[in-house]
Amino acid sequence: MAAVTKAPSVVVRAAGVDEGHAIAGLWRELWDAHEAWGGYAGTRDPRVYEQLAQRLSDDARVRNGQPVLGRHVHLVAHTDLGVVGQVEGWFERHGVDATTPYTCEVRSLIVSTRTRSRGVGRALLDALAQVARHMSRGAPVVMAAEVLEPNPAHAFYAKVGYAPVSWTARLGTDGADDPGAGADRGPWSARLATPDDALAIAMLDPSLAARRRSQGDVRFDRPRAVDATFVGALAAHLARPAAALDQCELVVTDEQGVVRGSASLSVMSLDPPFVPARRGLLGRFAVDPALDPRPLVAPLVRLGRRLAFLRGAATLELTDLDPPAAPLNQGAVAAGARAWSRIVERYA
């Protein structure tokens, strides 16, 4: 296959069948760096990386020289030193509004330490954007990447035109099963949502959409009118047995039991080459726009932390937050969370 893009001394293309071990070596570099920054640990078991190399070679064989397989894009960068970088992309649309741009999530951008400052990272991102534009058939596409706060790549992403639009904070779940530590305080109380909460949660959704748009995050639908179809679908979703699932909705209520805010909790398992672990995420914070969100965040976080702990997650990430100086983010910090990552975006 011809190269997707070619910069001076850098060729970006689909991975070759014989390059599994080289790409697995890049993954080892990435996870070592992430662990040094406080991220989830990667395994040091050589057998796992051998299995990863075989999977990468098998994947390249199925792709047969093409970077796209379904919604997944995989590109490598090649120089005179061999394979020195790689990037993945997930192509999708978040929402039902035809005016909402497609999103290509940038994942696992890795450039070997041997070839930093040679334009490899820029070439990989440019090639991924080119593929995403082709997949969208001319419709707008947003490139979005999550960057850990300690990652020095923040300056690189800013240089190539990415801007922050969403922030994440993280806290541990140790001690979350302590009834004293988990007791709700003040006039606000959090609980699992039920089908009866569907209308209240749906009425909060426009505030979430407006908040995202005000931050420049265009991956999601604009605020929309609440209709019976949306409420019915939400009620059916809430009717599932939350205790048996790794995804559920939480609500925070006032002293009269009126729903004033909501959030979504999910817990997932990390796949190799991560060390086996469970990852908790609490996001989609939607709060009555007439209220200060800070006191409402605390009970949602306390309940989310307890539920994540019970589902085996050692940490809980609070996603989809406002900038650090904004009240929602301040509420997360007051609940014990610390800055963890940010989402940066640009149009392809």
For 293-302, how does the pLDDT look when each residue is reduced to its tens digit (9 = 90+)? Answer: 999 999 999 9
Is a pLDDT exceeding 70 seen at residue 5? no
pLDDT of residue 156: 96
pLDDT of residue 182: 46
**Is residue 348, in this structure, part of any structural domain at all?**
no
d(CA 147, CA 167) in angstroms, rounded, equals 10
**Same domain assignment for residues 26 and 113:** yes
d(CA 239, CA 234) in angstroms, rounded, equals 9
For 136-168, how does the pLDDT look when each residue is reduced to its tens digit (9 = 90+)? Answer: 999 999 999 999 999 999 999 999 999 999 999
Q: Are 170 and 239 in contact (CB under 8 A)?
A: no
Q: Confidence band (pLDDT; 50, 70, 90) for 130?
A: very high
User: Stretch 197-226: mean pLDDT, rounded?
Assistant: 95
Angle between helices 294-310 and 327-334 (to 10 degrees): 50
pLDDT of residue 242: 66
**Same domain assignment for residues 236 and 149:** no
**Is residue 277, in this structure, part of any structural domain at all?**
yes
**Same domain assignment for residues 146 and 263:** no
**Same domain assignment for residues 224 and 281:** yes
Q: Is the pTM of this model over 0.85?
A: yes
Q: Are 141 and 347 in contact (CB under 8 A)?
A: yes
Reduced to 3 states (helix: H, G, I; strand: E, B; else coil), residue 248 is strand
Q: Confidence band (pLDDT; 50, 70, 90) for 203?
A: very high
pLDDT of residue 246: 87
Reduced to 3 states (helix: H, G, I; strand: E, B; else coil), residue 30 is helix
| Of 131, 161, 191, the domain-final residue | 161
Per the structure, the complete domain to which residue 99 belongs is given by: 5-161
For the chain, how many structural domains are there in total? 2
Is a pLDDT exceeding 90 seen at residue 124? yes
pLDDT of residue 243: 60
pLDDT of residue 7: 61
**Same domain assignment for residues 279 and 147:** no
**Same domain assignment for residues 231 and 303:** yes
For 105-117, how does the pLDDT look when each residue is reduced to its tens digit (9 = 90+)? Answer: 999 999 998 888 7
DSSP 275: P
Q: Are 262 and 297 in contact (CB under 8 A)?
A: no
**Same domain assignment for residues 22 and 129:** yes
Reduced to 3 states (helix: H, G, I; strand: E, B; else coil), residue 244 is helix
Tokens 């009970």 correspond to what residue? 299
pLDDT of residue 2: 52
Strands (E), the chain: 5-7, 10-13, 68-69, 72-79, 82-92, 102-111, 141-148, 163-172, 189-192, 247-253, 259-269, 278-287, 315-321, 338-347
Question: Kindly report the CA angle at 342 between 338 and 345, in degrees rounded to 5?
Answer: 170
| Of 113, 136, 161, the domain-final residue | 161
**Same domain assignment for residues 154 and 190:** no
d(CA 32, CA 282) in angstroms, rounded, equals 26
For 217-275, how does the pLDDT look when each residue is reduced to its tens digit (9 = 90+)? Answer: 999 999 988 999 999 999 999 998 866 678 999 999 999 999 999 999 999 999 888 88
| Of 161, 183, 203, the domain-final residue | 161
Burial of 250 (0-12, 13-18, 19+ CB in 10 A): buried
* Contacts with 326 (C-beta within 8 Å, 6 or more apart), sequence order: none
Q: Which residue has the higher pLDDT, 34 or 164?
A: 164
User: For a pLDDT cut of 90, what percent of the chain falls above it?
Assistant: 82
How many CB atoms lie under 10 A from the CB of residue 261? 26
Mean pLDDT, the chain, rounded, equals 93
**Same domain assignment for residues 176 and 324:** yes
What's the chain's length in residues?
Answer: 348
**Same domain assignment for residues 156 and 177:** no
**Is residue 85, in this structure, part of any structural domain at all?**
yes
**Is residue 347, in this structure, part of any structural domain at all?**
no
**Same domain assignment for residues 337 and 189:** yes
**Same domain assignment for residues 148 and 258:** no
**Is residue 241, in this structure, part of any structural domain at all?**
yes
Q: What is the CATH number of the domain that holds 302?
A: 3.40.630.30
pLDDT of residue 105: 98
Nearest Cα neighbor of 117 from 195, 10, 227, 255 is 10
d(CA 342, CA 282) in angstroms, rounded, equals 15
pLDDT of residue 3: 65
pLDDT of residue 240: 85
Least reliable range by pLDDT among 4-18, 40-54, 138-152: 4-18
pLDDT of residue 52: 95
* Contacts with 71 (C-beta within 8 Å, 6 or more apart), sequence order: 90, 91, 92
User: For a pLDDT cut of 70, what percent of the chain falls above it?
Assistant: 95
